[in-house]
Amino acid sequence: MREQQERPIGYWAKHLDSLINQAFEQALHDDDVTRRQWQVLSTLTWGARSVASLRETLGAFRCDEDDSLEDALEALDGRGWIGDDGGLLSLTPAGVSVHDEVHGHVERVREDLGRDISDADYRTTVDTLRRMCDNLAAGLPRSD
């Protein structure tokens, strides 16, 4: 047990990311929605966005080559869940309905993730991880 506690943050970050991906895959499987498709649906609930805006918003979320943003947009468009109005993508009524249905499954994953963790501990953890990202990013060349 002591060995597990002494593993570095990189181990825990990768392990958590893998578990989150597995939990989302399982939760979304019955709805035939990928995690990337869910991310697009969820982001579009905030309002219409361009593809560039979606790419920027979702850029930090790693995705498999088989589940690129372009693949997700094509699948969602093919199902009639998103529409394009002059380069701005938005949810169709069918897309809103699917989002609302799938949202409950996603919330259960989030509840499982936060079980027995206080709001204060969660906020502290997220803030600590954000600051670690900022610290390392400050020393790296900008990619834009």
Number of domains in the chain: 1
pLDDT tens digits for 43-83? 999 999 999 999 989 887 766 555 689 999 999 999 999 99
Average pLDDT of the residues in 4-17 = 88
pLDDT of amino acid 61: 76
The Cα 52–Cα 122 span in angstroms is: 30
pLDDT tens digits for 75-121? 999 999 999 999 999 999 999 999 999 999 999 999 999 999 999 99
Q: Is residue 6 part of a domain?
A: no
Query: Residue 105: which CATH number?
Result: 1.10.10.10
The Cα 99–Cα 4 span in angstroms is: 38
The structure's pTM equals 0.78
φ, ψ of residue 48 to 5 degrees: the values are: -60, 145
Using pLDDT thresholds of 50, 70 and 90, give the confidence band for residue 2: low
Domain coverage including residue 35:
11-136
The Cα 122–Cα 125 span in angstroms is: 5
